């Protein structure tokens, strides 16, 4: 079974924000990714708007709606409130009602997401948020480490899917000692499926480590931005898209 590829636009937005104007144009880039065969578009709009801005969300949502086969995914911390012209994460999600909302336990001063939820601490807080999103026909995924007990709790608080945090796997792959952590992810994928959760994955996945990670059972979707952007610089967007889609087919 093929694994869906969702392209995260944050790094492209970061490049755009480094200069005045609108270059590169996120809508044009997303359109090109869609034309070349990706199955989804992912945004992670943070309150400081250092990459994707709140004003980017609606135009990109409208673009994805023009392509019924494309999944629109917004990820972020559900507890982030309003800041200047950032309306708050949940308010932003509710304004466009994406196909999927991936809840992530990062905070504003983190350079990037670096751990999954500890649902022993936050499960009670997340449960009504998850219920509210699902009532709006938004699929909810939780960013999780491959901890079997935590994955069980993800089901109990009402999530539809988990997104396995693959940063440690990618680091171990670079060191050549990844088999143990890959097996953890394989067990996590199996358990998630058995209890009725879909399985996504993301963070530092690339063309080198994806073929091995593809062995995680029931993997439905991967979200890739940083590595995809770097590979585009080397080989161009068309060739890069073909390479990722071939690995995931």
Which are the catalytic amino acids? Answer: 44, 75, 203
159 close to 141: Cβ distance less than 8 angstroms: yes
Quote the CA–CA distance of 27 and 33 in Å, as a whole number.
10
236 close to 19: Cβ distance less than 8 angstroms: no
Q: Residues for the chain: how many in total?
A: 249
Quote the CA–CA distance of 97 and 133 in Å, as a whole number.
8
- Residue ranges in 97-178 assigned as alpha helix (H): 119-135, 148-156, 167-175
When computed from its CA atoms, the radius of gyration of the chain, rounded to whole angstroms, is 17
Neighbours of 23 (CB within 10 A): 9
């Amino acid at each position: 079974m093929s694994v869906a590829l969702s392209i995260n636009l944050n790094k492209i937005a970061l490049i755009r924000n480094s200069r005045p104007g609108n270059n590169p144009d996120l809508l044009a880039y997303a359109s090109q990714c869609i034309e070349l065969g990706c199955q989804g578009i992912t945004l992670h709009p943070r309150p400081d708007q250092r990459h994707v801005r709140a004003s980017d969300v609606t135009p990109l949502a409208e673009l994805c709606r023009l392509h019924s086969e494309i999944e629109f995914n917004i990820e972020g911390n559900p507890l982030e409130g309003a800041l200047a012209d950032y309306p708050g994460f949940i308010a932003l999600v509710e304004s466009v009602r994406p196909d999927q909302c991936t809840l992530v336990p990062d905070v504003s001063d983190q350079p990037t997401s670096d751990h999954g939820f500890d649902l022993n601490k936050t499960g009670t807080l997340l449960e009504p948020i998850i219920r509210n999103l699902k009532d709006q026909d938004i699929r909810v995924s939780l960013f999780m480490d491959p901890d079997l007990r935590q994955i069980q709790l993800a089901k109990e608080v009402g999530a539809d899917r988990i997104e396995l945090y693959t940063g440690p796997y990618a680091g171990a792959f670079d060191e050549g000692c990844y088999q143990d952590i890959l097996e953890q992810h394989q067990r996590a994928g199996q358990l998630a499926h058995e209890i009725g959760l879909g399985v996504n994955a993301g963070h530092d996945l690339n063309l080198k480590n994806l073929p091995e990670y593809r062995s995680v059972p029931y993997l439905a979707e991967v979200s890739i931005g940083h590595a995809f952007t770097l590979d585009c610089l080397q080989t161009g967007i068309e060739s890069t898209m073909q390479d990722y889609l071939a690995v995931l087919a």
